Amino acid sequence: VRMERQAVQRAREAFQSGRTRPLEFRLQQLHALQRMITEKETEIATALKQDINRSQYDTPLLELIGIENEIKLAIDRMAQWAAPRPVEKNVLTISDEVYIQPEPLGVVLIIGAWNYPWALTLLPLVGAIAAGNAAVVKPSELSEYSSLLLRELYPVVTGGVAETQDLLRLRFDHVFFTGGSTTGKLVMEAAAQHLTPVTLELGGKSPCYIDKDCEIRVACRRITWGKFVNCGQTCIAPDYILCEPSIQSQVVDCIRLTLLEFYGADPKCSPDYGRIINQRHFNRIMSLMEGYTPVVGGQSDSSQCYIAPTVLKDVPPHSRLMQEEIFGPVLPIVTVSDMDDAIRFVNEREKPLALYIFCNDKKAVKRMIEETTSGGVTVNDVMMHYTLSSLPFGGVGHSGMGRYHGKHTFDQLSHQRACLIRSLKMESVNLARYPPQDRRRARRSPTRWQQTADINSNGQPIV
């Protein structure tokens, strides 16, 4: 507890000293973070290889490029984001100075996730720095090698569940958590003791609807990449497929051919195919597959935490597999009679973090977007909405609260302070608001607000 308390105290003292507020200091910190990413790319890739067998080619694509782009954007736009923002006035404030001033919240706790331990830890940090906050960073202990490397490069708090719980007992000005919904509830409960606002980036079962009239081969190629990259351990990976029975076999065949193209006849030997993070998650995923006969894959090796890319067809809608987020390389297919049935299926369940629609009919796409809800939606591809800093990334309902990326992170970790500055002159304008009230004086006032004193309860003028 002492270590966590000291880390928070140092961050609090740094913030209260005013050191984190000047734009010049924020820029220096962001440039330093950029240099760290550039100089340590090889070490980062090695750590990820040890943690989840991440391909050295996937590390820049899946994590580092995104961080670098966020840093560059923050450096370029930070002065604009932090500037006072004039707002519309009314007749009562016509001669006043009225604006919104973004200001830092204070000390932000960032709890990272293990599946993308660099992006999901450092992306919120970029926004916290840009907004002028001090931050306490807690990377996930499950991605052990990445966590140790982060500790060498950056002042972070390491440890497991006990250390995280100790941190959450302390007071912060904002808690930014990425992880599962069960832990998210505990984070929210702990933050409530201090009335601390939270951003919860959770997950859930993201549906993927394939219309029978779309280019199924292309759709399956894109779905296969999104589902099995990082061994399925991606919060916005397609969790399951919805399609009509008439195309189910074609979908299976296309995914099988794509897997052969991506990972070869034996994905276990492919340098591009990952591993499950640990034995506990390996056992959890294997238990979800019990009772099913895979139509693709299904092989596993406990000693390596390896599970082959696996497809299951005709999965019952109310099975355990369809109740829990899979977070692994297992893709169930559930058949629906048509788009109406798919919409009902999605709406009967918790609001997902992402919704994927593969369909050529623009009217049908628009209808599905309008009649469902999700944190984000991508049409005719998967996960690509995450790559845009201009789009807010976050969940809704059970899949999370709050949003980030680009300016959205800056706004999330800033207080939007309402400011009104007026002169001590022209006091006569204010006479109508002071007692003792005089109806005639109010009637002579030029403002609409003061004129309402001359209207009775029936809306009729008082004469």
Q: What residue spans define the domains of the chain?
A: 2-202+405-416, 207-394, 423-454
CATH class, 207-394 region:
alpha beta
Gap between the Cα atoms of 451 and 62, Å rounded: 61
Tokens of 108: 């932000």
Tokens of 23: 């734009």
Q: Is 214 a catalytic residue?
A: no
CATH class, 2-202+405-416 region:
alpha beta
**pLDDT score of 108:** 98
Q: What is the pLDDT of residues 202-246, one digit of tens each?
A: 999 999 999 999 999 999 999 999 999 999 999 999 999 999 999
Mean pLDDT across 47-74: 94
Of 133-142, 157-166, 429-438, where does mean pLDDT reach its minimum?
429-438
**pLDDT score of 432:** 81
Gap between the Cα atoms of 401 and 185, Å rounded: 11
Q: Is residue 441 very low, low, confident or very high in pLDDT (cuts 50, 70, 90)?
A: low
**pLDDT score of 456:** 39
- Of the residues 201, 208, 254, 305, only one is catalytic, namely 201
Closest CA to 169 of 188, 191, 154, 151: 191
**pLDDT score of 2:** 79
The C-alpha R_g of the chain, in whole angstroms, comes to 27
Measure CA of the first residue to CA of the last residue in the chain; give whole Å.
72
**Residue 380 Cα to chain centre, angstroms:** 21
Phi and psi (nearest 5°) for 237? -65, 145
Q: Is residue 56 very low, low, confident or very high in pLDDT (cuts 50, 70, 90)?
A: confident
Residue 175 has pLDDT above 50, yes or no: yes
Residue 71 has pLDDT above 90, yes or no: yes
329 preceded by cis ω (within 30°)? Answer: no
**112 Cβ contact list (under 8 Å, min separation 6):** 120, 121, 137, 138, 139, 140, 178
**pLDDT score of 459:** 45
- Of the residues 208, 220, 231, 235, only one is catalytic, namely 235
Mean pLDDT across 312-331: 96
**pLDDT score of 460:** 45
Residue 463 has pLDDT above 90, yes or no: no
Residue 451 has pLDDT above 70, yes or no: no
Residue 452 has pLDDT above 90, yes or no: no
Q: What is the pLDDT of residues 246-305, one digit of tens each?
A: 999 999 999 999 999 999 999 999 999 999 999 999 999 999 999 999 999 999 999 999
340 or 92: whose pLDDT is higher?
Answer: 340
**pLDDT score of 439:** 65
DSSP 434: S
- Long-range contacts, 344-351 (Cβ 8 Å, 24+): 345/207, 345/242, 345/317, 346/207, 346/209, 346/242, 346/372, 346/374, 347/371, 347/372, 349/205, 350/204, 350/205, 350/397, 350/398, 350/399, 351/204, 351/375, 351/395, 351/396, 351/397, 351/398, 351/399
Tokens of 49: 């290889």
pTM for the model: 0.92
Q: Is residue 448 very low, low, confident or very high in pLDDT (cuts 50, 70, 90)?
A: very low
Give the up-direction half-sphere exposure of residue 437: CA atoms within 13 A in the CB hemisphere. Answer: 8
Mean pLDDT across 50-67: 93
Mean pLDDT across 62-71: 96
